[in-house]
Amino acid sequence: MAPIPQQDPVARVAGVPVDTRHWIGGERVASAAAFPDHSPVDGALLAHVARGGEAEAHAAVTAARDAFPGWAATPPGERARVLHRIADGIEARTEELARVETADNGALLRSHRRGVMPRAAQNLRHFADRLLTLNHEDFETRGHSNHVSWDPSGPAVLITPWNAPLMLATWKLGPALAAGCTVVLKPAEWAPLTASLLAGIAHEAGLPAGVFNLVQGYGAEAGTPLVSDPRVRRISFTGSVPTARTIAGHAAAHLVPTSFELGGKSPLLVFADADLDLAAGLAVEQYDNAGQVCLAGTRLLVEESVRDVFLEKFLARARELTLGDPRDEATSMGPNIHPRHLERVDGFVRRALAAGARPLLGGEPHTALAERLGGTYYLPTLLTDVAQDSEIVQEEVFGPVLTLQTFADEEEAVRLANGTRFGLAATLATGDPERAERVAAQLVAGTVWTNCFFVRDLSAPFGGSRESGIGREGGDWSFDFYCDLKTTVTAPAGWS
């Protein structure tokens, strides 16, 4: 894309002023060029955002490196207090953050107000509090004491996706800052605006200059120099498998540890003994955020004997979904993020239909709504008559597209559920506790939900198996990643 000159650095988005420059070393930094940021809600141009590259990436890592010794030496109690003040700032600006993020990524305004922004603040508070209880009991070896400590590793690069920009930024930022690392955040170019607001909030909370830096731009231009910099000591990325492979190659050159939370093609298993009303509700819930949720159980696997009853209940609930403007309280599903992404989603569906799949619901963009609002809307879709080895079953669509398959018994259910290269999550509905325990133990997944969905304590490990990721985040696992663990062994008393 041809460079666009940087214009007025402050854009007004949903009535909120947003500085579109980078945040490096405690200052706003402009770039010679900018990139356009359009709203998926109506296609409107929201802002021209500073388009960073090698120079900005180098400056941000330099600022993070220079600030690291001071932040690492800051007592844990003070680091925790700063994180709590940032959380206070998020809570004080919940309405503004919610409006900007809805305009920027198209997720429901009411969800941002009631769930997403409060969770963003909770992420920071959780790791601030966790830091103060981080401890491992000393242990003894032949009279020698062994003490375990967590030493901050150094500057960290955090790369976040567009489907939950602020929440996932704080999910990474919280433990990194609590651990004593300094950070450079590179947000997704399709939804970068709340990251800029977060930089301002962190500054107002008293976070020292250079501890948190923000570089905006495209992956090849801004992301590559960040993950290639030998001064970076940790890289945390949430996004696609192909991008993770590229990042891993750069990280390997300098042996930089990485944490990857990647794609999913998660199963939702419905057994005949399940509460089918509950199961149908769980299945329809997978359309949340227009299907743009990595954890979504997009493969519905239903026991043959209850297929028709389940399908009737599912379709009745799914047809109650209201697709529309995410700022409207009555809307239950908003747009997809970008015209290119909408084309990608539709391409998956069209190829599946050409291969013999049959649509039971949707199957195409909502053209009338798009013409009226101007945004990128796709009908909630359910496809059946799909083969296990087909593209639509094996590849992540990341849109409001589910598939329906049936199984004859528990063994086949597990085989189908585990039959992809992913392993991020799984959901199962059953009325038999023993079956739930037995099946969950066999599923390849980082998280398994039984008769529920999207419930997780922040202390629990989160991540994926197989190509769904590397490592775990949450609780002490996050500190293990952002720190170098040290064991100090001391001889018995009386040494000389």
Given a contact cutoff of 8 angstroms between Cβ atoms, the answer to whether 460 and 414 are in contact is no
Given a contact cutoff of 8 angstroms between Cβ atoms, the answer to whether 51 and 31 are in contact is yes
Given a contact cutoff of 8 angstroms between Cβ atoms, the answer to whether 150 and 140 are in contact is no
Q: From CA 162, how far away is CA 191, in angstroms rounded?
A: 5
The CA-based dihedral angle spanning residues 389, 393, 398, 404, taken in that order and rounded to the nearest 10 degrees: 170
User: By three-state DSSP, how is residue 364 classified?
Assistant: coil
Q: From CA 134, how far away is CA 146, in angstroms rounded?
A: 16
The secondary element (H helix, E strand) that includes residue 373 is: helix 367-373
- Active-site residue, selected from the candidate residues 96, 101, 189, 294: 294
* Region of 374 on the Ramachandran plot (φ > 0 left; ψ -120 to 50 alpha; else beta): left
- Active-site residue, selected from the candidate residues 221, 261, 467, 473: 261
What number of residues does the chain have?
496
Token digits of residue 222: 């801004």
Taking the CB of residue 130, how many other CB atoms lie within 10 A of it? 21
Is the four-CA dihedral 187, 193, 194, 195 of positive or negative sign?
A: positive
Dmax of the chain from CA atoms? 84
Measuring CA to CA, which residue among 280, 352, 265 is closest to residue 310? 280
Angle ∠(331,332,338) on CA atoms, nearest 5 = 85
Active site residue 483: no
Burial, 66: exposed, middle or buried (Cβ in 10 Å; 0-12, 13-18, 19+)?
A: middle
Kindly list the distances between the CA atom of residue 299 and the CA atoms of 79, 284, 289, 336, 408, in Å, as whole numbers in the listed order. Answer: 43, 12, 17, 19, 16
Active site residue 312: no
Catalytic residues: 261, 294
